[in-house]
Amino acid sequence: MMIPNLLIGYGNPLRQDDGVGVQAAYRLAGEMSRTLAVHQLTPELAEAVSRAEVVLFVDASRSLGPGEFEVRAVEPSSEDVDSHHLTPGSLLALAHSLYGHAPAAFLFTMGGSQFGYGEELSPEVEEALPTLLGEIRKHAALRPERKASYALFG
């Protein structure tokens, strides 16, 4: 059965701003068709991904300024496939390969400033998080046209 949207927030919630994806999943849990809060993207997620019309990935970044975020569309990619840790693109490719469907997907990345031990987000990330959640909500409502197939492996 297909669901309208799936939010996957990932990162380490015990390493301050690295847990922003997990925090986003917790805070939006009642608003999405399905939410998952995980430490990293793994092959076991492919089945859930294949059952969504839109997948929203949320992660932290050290390359963006604290509280800054970017959103980009994600396409299936067979690059960087490893049996223990996947990128959003490689997880989409795996979902298509195993289950015949790779949904539309977006990656939301928020910059952090504190990645030490602790469960609290930095003040900059905590302050910017409501804006990020608003953008996630907008993208969750999208109903993109389904693509017939992807040329993934040659």
pLDDT tens string 58-68: 999 999 999 99
Is residue 154 included in any domain, yes or no? no
Cα separation of 113 and 125, whole Å? 8
Residue 153 lies in a domain: no
Cα–chain-centroid distance for residue 107?
Answer: 5
Structure confidence by residue, pLDDT tens digits, 28-50: 998 999 999 999 999 999 999 99
Q: How far is CA 52 from CA 1, 36, 124, 152, in A?
A: 9, 13, 32, 19
Query: Is 101 part of a structural domain of the chain?
Result: yes
Range of the domain at 123: 3-140
CATH number at residue 106: 3.40.50.1450
Confidence (pLDDT) at 148 = 32
The whole-model pTM stands at 0.88
CA angle at 18 for the pair 71 and 87, rounded to the nearest 5° = 55
